[in-house]
Chain A
Amino acid sequence: ETNKLYCTSVKCCIFELKAELNSDKKEKKKEAVKKVIASMTVGKDVSALFPDVVNCMQTDNLELKKLVYLYLMNYAKSQPDMAIMAVNTFVKDCEDPNPLIRALAVRTMGCIRVDKITEYLCEPLRKCLKDEDPYVRKTAAVCVAKLHDINAQLVEDQGFLDTLKDLISDSNPMVVANAVAALSEISESHPNCNLLDLNPQSINKLLTALNECTEWGQIFILDCLANYTPRDDRESQSICERVTPRLSHANSAVVLSAVKVLMKFMEMLPKDLDYYGTLLKKLAPPLVTLLSAEPELQYVALRNINLIVQKRPEILKHEMKVFFVKYNDPIYVKLEKLDIMIRLASQANIAQVLAELKEYATEVDVDFVRKAVRAIGRCAIKVEQSAERCVSTLLDLIQTKVNYVVQEAIVVIKDIFRKYPNKYESVIATLCENLDSLDEPEARAAMIWIVGEYAERIDNADELLESFLEGFHDESTQVSETHTHTHLQHVLHKHTQNTPDSDNPDLRDRGYIYWRLLSTDPVAAKEVVLAEKPLISEETDLIEPTLLEELICHIGSLASVYHKPPNAFVEGSRGVQHKRLPARTASGESAESPDAGQSVGGVSDAPPAVIPSQGDLLGDLLNLDLAPPSASVPVVPASMQMGVDLLGGGLDSLVGLHRPSGSQYIAVGLAGGTGGMPAGLGGTPAMGGGLGDLFDLGGGVGMATGSYVPPKAVWLPAMKAKGLEISGTFARRGGGIHMDLSLTNNAMSIMTDFAIQFNRNSFGLAPAGPLQVLTPLAQNQTIDVSLPLNTNGPIMKMEPLNNLQVAVKNNIDVFYFSCQYPISLLFVEDGKMDRQVFLATWKDIPSENETQYQIKDFHLNSDAASTKLQGSNVFTVAKRTVDAQDLLYQSIKLTNGIWALAELRIQSITPNYMLALKCRAPEVSQYICQCYELLLRN
């Protein structure tokens, strides 16, 4: 009847069980506990039996003991007072002569997540960490991680972390592996203390243990090794040599962790080294082998191979065939394989790939077929020689008349047209035949684009567009955007036909049309602006290089599956260190400069021009415990010094609020001092807001200029900050930036020990001194402080650009809020440009960087406007009057040396101003325009 526990337990009621648990017969007791466990396993609530089950704990019968332990772990949390009854038995068991019992007791105790119990755990745990039996030691090592999870402070106070570190040099490999695992887990939630202090000696110990411990232990050790940065290429090579045998392990996780170590350390080897080539060759077979494992394993392997082929395409370039899709592969494997096939496609294998892709396009699964068709388009764009063949393959597919195949094919043909203009227009006729079958927005948009682009070659382009126009109002934005744009193009085409002198539509004309559109219908204008899409690039979905480097360091992890850095999504890991591939350091060099490759945490310095993207946000730690931030905070990303994690939890929510999907990883050269930044970034987030945002500026933006300081806005309401209310504004006074704050204490107790810190932000704003709140803040008291700011802080692009995340600490807690500063705060006093320079610069900045805005309902004349703006360091360089319009040419300089040039058109007949802004960093234009509006209105 033991085997039918499950069935009986459901019928069994608590009362009967209680009687059986209190039976004198050992056997009956055990059966009863088994029934209780069985009920518990299926989620039935048997917590009412707690005292009766705990009574069975004092027994010599190991099985019964284990069963009771199982029960305890499950219910102790809900019955903490009862659980305390079990403590004595635990403590006694920790002294048992049988190491199995000692280990079991310490292990179970650690699983009971009740504070009162954890207090009693410390002494037994300390003994077990030094137990003579390695089985007990290795169990105790894991127990430290458990305890840390429950009460981190306790673990630190008791010195368990140091004991754990000592265990890395234990004689037993299993103990070493568990100690490493425990330390890794602890450091993940606790990044400030450098727990795994890796040096050549400890590395050597780990490598020795690697050969002898279990497969799981090998994973922990390899993942730990991957965090180490070897001193030079020789050390790097010797580690690689000792890790390579792991590539033949049957456990795929061991293999992938070994691949990670090798991919990372390889970076340090000179490419001409024989060993480098050998290593490259050794990496291919294990990766191929992973693809014959279970589909779930294949999926993870493929996501990682996707990264590896982007970083080092040479490893798998001859292995195209293993990525061919099998008909019984799960869909998630198929899609991944397809992606890798494209990455590996080259002139040498393109014929084979295309033949495969064509096969796939006739399969049943719609998603897969669509992706296969898309893949053909990507082949055409990637391998120019194959473009013609791809186009004809796509035409064949269009002939199948399968609706979704046709639509997908048209979308990719549009991309091919964009990449190779005026080359394949002969196929347009075939495309036009399928006009009626297009019902998906993307396909319609693509078709409209094609019609517009080649209007002069299509006899009935007008008609075709008209037919699309019928449904205009029902279309999704994507279609209507393209539509409007195309119409405009069409008009322009017509226009050029009428004036045969010019080959190209004159830019002025185009601007004029935009402007006309703008003044009549801003919404349509927005769509026109947005419809300007960047040119299609070689490979559209390559991972941005710095991110790729970081992901290579995370091979095998969740990050590698999602292709995002871990801090972007793993909740538990606050402030994960950003990993970079090590720079190459030759053994000779390192003797002279010992710290060359040894920056903190095994991270090499990145070039200072690269600004860490918003992904870094969680990694960025604001160390509030430090004295006033020094004026010379390095601009080097993150500088990787992990301070106290004050912003950790709080920023999670902040980030959630302010992170736009998709664009957070674009690293932008906004660095100060250089006076310019790379223009023409694809899909800059600034554009996302569009003109629409411009007209409904939120009231939360505190505006301040030299003369005008707006009233303070509440940034941190008292209910969110345990009674502390903060309101504030920004002001530029006497060439300096100030943050004016009012702190109000609405709590019942006094507040002391105020400190403030900013997160990294777009312009490096940072407090220039400490927050001067010298006296304690009593109940209901308000204090005004002015905090001087400088722009020497660390830089990171924020979204919106003028967003500032602030942490304020007092004796109660740490609070977080974010606010936005007017960009005029950053307009410097020496921003007046010479006229000649202005003219030259205006011509020099490409017209793509020009943005136009309309400012409605103003009645100021040009002189008054000019004076008003001058007060906030917007300088009028020249003024011109044409046809009852005043044109003001103005210059602005930002603290980081970026110049913005403006043309302000003031008409006497209409109350609307037109503002044209030219800037090498067009991201800021939107914000400058906001300031114009606010400065003029006040």
Chain B
Amino acid sequence: MIHSLFLINNAGDIFLEKHWKSVISRSVCDYFFEAQEKAMEPDNVPPVIRTPHHYLINIYRDKIFFVSVIQTEVPPLFVIEFLHRVAEMFQDYFGDCSEVAIKDNVVIVYELLEEMLDNGFPLATESNILKELIKPPTILRSMVNSITGSSNVGETLPTGQLSTVPWRRAGVKYTNNEAYFDVVEEIDAILDKSGTTVFAEIQGVIDACVKLSGMPDLTLSFMNPRLLDDVSFHPCVRFKRWESERVLSFIPPDGNFRLMSYHVNAQNLVAIPVYVRQNISFFESGSSGRLDITLGPKQTMGKTVECVVVTVHMPKVVLNANLTATQGNYTYDPVTKILVWDIGKLNQQKLPNLKGSLSLQSGAPKPEENPSLNIDLKIQQLAISGLKVNRLDMYGEKYKPFKGVKYVTKVFR
């Protein structure tokens, strides 16, 4: 199982180490540094590195490398999932997962790591349980602690660890009982020149923020559950009921969690919310070219398209761009050859247009390919797949909760 963990910053300093079995010298990280050097970019460091006696499995999160050392055959996904869980836990506890935050809370970090793994076996990795065992640092608590002499370690047995709902702690109490669900969808689509969809898929998630007292048993149903054929659930969801009735039935964890994620990739179901008319051409002579891009909304169910940004990767020979935008601002970076047009909200009446000339390096041959356009956007109050929550029912508790559902569609790369 997981033997040791080293946290390493971008400068290559090992600023924290934790060993769950015998101590492994930090010199083992030299193999990691070697790989890091070879990879050039931090993102490109291979996740599994083989050394003569160990394996180093690492992730790169928030400018920190989480490097774990293993000695026996362990599923790498298991390790990677765990490391992500550690990073999330730091985020959860300290507000951000940075070197400064970790160093400021080094003892809590150490206590957390000790609770999360025992001999390399995961012990408590649910935020709810951990918070019961080790209280997150707050200014108020450290003040109270210093006066009363009490500590931030829980005195009780983490009851959740033993129940069949290990993700929920017992005895939760709120004065305002509320449950919010965010349906967030991201479109990933490739269109060809004529606007025909080459490839399109929707990645959706339902993130929940549930603050309900006691042991509520929730049932969430959809207007059109058939849309969802490729789903993955939080462990709290009863899979049998989903299979038979297509409803999500679950006892929620306390606080924020991801209820489910899903994937829609049947081409006909993916409606592309905008259309683009573009014409970028380069002239045979005169070292120049023309650019003309117009964007318009389509299939937005009456919702406004916001935060629209168009990015164009220009060919290397394009020196500069002299353009006029009817809406928003554009910038062209001659070094990276990236043209960014920040449009903002999409106006139904007056379609935004960017037009003008491109100057090319003199004497260079005319670029063959048309540059590709990349469009980012966001639509509030709409799940582009058409997914709609029908109703949320609560059983097991008597009070009446406040319920809310929010939809967002995003296109981001």
Name A residues whose Cβ lies closer than 8 Å to a Cβ of B. 2-7, 26-27, 30, 34, 37-38, 41-43, 61-64, 66-67, 70, 74, 77, 98-100, 107, 110-111, 113, 133-135, 139, 142-143, 145-146, 149, 172-174, 178, 181-182, 185, 188-189, 212, 214-216, 219, 223, 245, 248-253, 255-257, 285-286, 288-289, 292, 294-297, 299-301, 321-322, 324, 326, 328, 330-332, 362, 556-559, 561-562, 566, 569-573, 576
**Known contacts being A249-B233, A330-B43, is A573 close to B157, with CB within 8 Å?**
no
- CB contacts (< 8 Å) of A173 on chain B: these are 164
Stretch at the interface among B21-29, B168-176, B280-288, B403-411: B21-29
Asked if A41 and B17 make an inter-chain contact with CB atoms under 8 angstroms apart, the answer reads: yes
CA distance A905 to B137 in the complex (A): 89
- CB contacts (< 8 Å) of B413 on chain A: these are 326, 328
**Known contacts being A99-B157, A245-B243, is A6 close to B106, with CB within 8 Å?**
yes
- CB contacts (< 8 Å) of B106 on chain A: these are 5-6, 37-38, 41-42
Chain B, Cβ-Cβ closest to A573: B73
Asked if B149 and A27 make an inter-chain contact with CB atoms under 8 angstroms apart, the answer reads: yes
- CB contacts (< 8 Å) of B50 on chain A: these are 562, 569
Contact of A110 among B18, B26, B119 (CB under 8 A): B119
Chain A, Cβ-Cβ closest to B200: A321
Chain A, Cβ-Cβ closest to B142: A2
Asked if A248 and B239 make an inter-chain contact with CB atoms under 8 angstroms apart, the answer reads: yes
Interface presence of B71 (CB below 8 A): yes
CA distance A216 to B60 in the complex (A): 22
Asked if B263 and A288 make an inter-chain contact with CB atoms under 8 angstroms apart, the answer reads: yes
- CB contacts (< 8 Å) of A253 on chain B: these are 75, 77-78, 80-81
Asked if B16 and A299 make an inter-chain contact with CB atoms under 8 angstroms apart, the answer reads: no
Asked if B73 and A570 make an inter-chain contact with CB atoms under 8 angstroms apart, the answer reads: yes
Interchain residue pairs with CB less than 8 A apart (14): A3-B104, A5-B106, A37-B106, A70-B111, A111-B119, A134-B162, A212-B164, A216-B82, A216-B122, A245-B243, A250-B234, A252-B81, A289-B230, A328-B413
Chain A, Cβ-Cβ closest to B16: A41
Interface presence of B220 (CB below 8 A): no
Interface presence of B335 (CB below 8 A): no
CA distance A252 to B155 in the complex (A): 34
Asked if B73 and A296 make an inter-chain contact with CB atoms under 8 angstroms apart, the answer reads: no
Asked if B230 and A285 make an inter-chain contact with CB atoms under 8 angstroms apart, the answer reads: yes
CA distance A299 to B77 in the complex (A): 9
Contact of B77 among A98, A145, A149, A556 (CB under 8 A): A556
Q: Give min CB distance, B235 to chain A, whole Å.
A: 6
Asked if A216 and B121 make an inter-chain contact with CB atoms under 8 angstroms apart, the answer reads: yes
Asked if B110 and A37 make an inter-chain contact with CB atoms under 8 angstroms apart, the answer reads: yes
- CB contacts (< 8 Å) of A182 on chain B: these are 121
Asked if A301 and B77 make an inter-chain contact with CB atoms under 8 angstroms apart, the answer reads: yes
Q: Give min CB distance, B169 to chain A, whole Å.
A: 14
Asked if A252 and B77 make an inter-chain contact with CB atoms under 8 angstroms apart, the answer reads: yes
Asked if B121 and A181 make an inter-chain contact with CB atoms under 8 angstroms apart, the answer reads: yes
CA distance A219 to B23 in the complex (A): 26
Asked if B151 and A62 make an inter-chain contact with CB atoms under 8 angstroms apart, the answer reads: yes
CA distance A874 to B234 in the complex (A): 73
**Known contacts being A297-B80, A330-B43, A570-B72, is A6 close to B232, with CB within 8 Å?**
no
Q: Which of B152, B164, B230 has the most CB of A within 10 A?
A: B230
Asked if A332 and B151 make an inter-chain contact with CB atoms under 8 angstroms apart, the answer reads: no
- CB contacts (< 8 Å) of B23 on chain A: these are 74, 77
CA distance A215 to B166 in the complex (A): 10
Asked if A188 and B73 make an inter-chain contact with CB atoms under 8 angstroms apart, the answer reads: yes
Contact of A172 among B71, B162, B240 (CB under 8 A): B162
Asked if A214 and B166 make an inter-chain contact with CB atoms under 8 angstroms apart, the answer reads: yes
The 9 A-B pairs at the shortest CB distance, nearest first, are namely A285-B230, A63-B153, A63-B151, A253-B77, A296-B47, A216-B122, A572-B72, A253-B78, A245-B239
Q: Give min CB distance, A780 to chain B, whole Å.
A: 39
Asked if A145 and B72 make an inter-chain contact with CB atoms under 8 angstroms apart, the answer reads: no
Chain B, Cβ-Cβ closest to A4: B104
Residues 241-266 of B contacting A (Cβ, < 8 Å) = 242-243, 258, 260-261, 263, 265
Asked if B77 and A297 make an inter-chain contact with CB atoms under 8 angstroms apart, the answer reads: yes
**Known contacts being A2-B142, A38-B106, A252-B77, is A142 close to B119, with CB within 8 Å?**
yes
Contact of A146 among B48, B58, B77, B119 (CB under 8 A): B119
Q: Give min CB distance, A303 to chain B, whole Å.
A: 9
**Known contacts being A2-B142, A294-B59, is A188 close to B110, with CB within 8 Å?**
no
CA distance A70 to B17 in the complex (A): 13
Interface presence of B182 (CB below 8 A): no
Interface presence of B1 (CB below 8 A): yes
Q: Which of A107, A215, A573 has the most CB of B within 10 A?
A: A215
Asked if B235 and A285 make an inter-chain contact with CB atoms under 8 angstroms apart, the answer reads: no
Asked if B80 and A300 make an inter-chain contact with CB atoms under 8 angstroms apart, the answer reads: yes
Contacts A37-B110, A292-B263 known; 18 new A-B pairs at CB < 8 A: A3-B104, A27-B146, A41-B16, A62-B153, A63-B151, A64-B151, A66-B111, A142-B119, A149-B21, A178-B121, A216-B125, A250-B258, A288-B265, A296-B59, A297-B77, A300-B76, A322-B265, A572-B71
Interface presence of B351 (CB below 8 A): no
- When each residue 44-69 of chain B gets 1 if its CB lies under 8 Å from chain A and 0 otherwise, what string results? 10111010010100111000000000
Interface presence of B15 (CB below 8 A): yes
Q: Give min CB distance, B184 to chain A, whole Å.
A: 13
- CB contacts (< 8 Å) of A219 on chain B: these are 75, 78
- CB contacts (< 8 Å) of B153 on chain A: these are 62-63, 66
Q: Give min CB distance, A256 to chain B, whole Å.
A: 5
Interface presence of B301 (CB below 8 A): no
Contact of A332 among B44, B103, B201, B265 (CB under 8 A): B44
**Known contacts being A38-B106, A62-B153, is A300 close to B263, with CB within 8 Å?**
no
- CB contacts (< 8 Å) of A77 on chain B: these are 22-23
CA distance A5 to B142 in the complex (A): 13
Chain B, Cβ-Cβ closest to A246: B239
Q: Give min CB distance, B242 to chain A, whole Å.
A: 8
- CB contacts (< 8 Å) of B81 on chain A: these are 251-253, 297
Interface presence of B223 (CB below 8 A): no
**Known contacts being A189-B72, A253-B75, is A174 close to B166, with CB within 8 Å?**
yes
Q: Which of B84, B119, B263 has the most CB of A within 10 A?
A: B119
CA distance A143 to B239 in the complex (A): 33
- CB contacts (< 8 Å) of B111 on chain A: these are 66-67, 70
Interface presence of B275 (CB below 8 A): no
**Known contacts being A214-B166, A331-B44, is A250 close to B235, with CB within 8 Å?**
yes
Q: Give min CB distance, B108 to chain A, whole Å.
A: 9
Interface presence of B156 (CB below 8 A): yes
Q: Which of A74, A188, A571, A573 has the most CB of B within 10 A?
A: A571
Asked if B234 and A26 make an inter-chain contact with CB atoms under 8 angstroms apart, the answer reads: no
Chain A, Cβ-Cβ closest to B1: A185
- CB contacts (< 8 Å) of A107 on chain B: these are 118
Asked if B263 and A43 make an inter-chain contact with CB atoms under 8 angstroms apart, the answer reads: no
Contact of A250 among B46, B157, B161, B261 (CB under 8 A): B261
Chain A, Cβ-Cβ closest to B153: A63
Interface presence of B107 (CB below 8 A): yes
Asked if B73 and A559 make an inter-chain contact with CB atoms under 8 angstroms apart, the answer reads: yes
Q: Which of A2, A42, A139, A145 has the most CB of B within 10 A?
A: A2
Asked if A70 and B114 make an inter-chain contact with CB atoms under 8 angstroms apart, the answer reads: yes
Asked if A332 and B47 make an inter-chain contact with CB atoms under 8 angstroms apart, the answer reads: yes
CA distance A256 to B74 in the complex (A): 13
Asked if B17 and A139 make an inter-chain contact with CB atoms under 8 angstroms apart, the answer reads: no
Interface presence of B34 (CB below 8 A): no
CA distance A249 to B228 in the complex (A): 15
Interface presence of B402 (CB below 8 A): no
Q: Give min CB distance, A646 to chain B, whole Å.
A: 20
Asked if A43 and B17 make an inter-chain contact with CB atoms under 8 angstroms apart, the answer reads: yes
CA distance A146 to B22 in the complex (A): 11
CA distance A66 to B107 in the complex (A): 11
Q: Which of B20, B80, B107, B122 has the most CB of A within 10 A?
A: B107
- CB contacts (< 8 Å) of A296 on chain B: these are 47, 58-60, 80
Interface presence of B199 (CB below 8 A): yes
Chain B, Cβ-Cβ closest to A296: B47
CA distance A294 to B75 in the complex (A): 16
CA distance A178 to B124 in the complex (A): 13
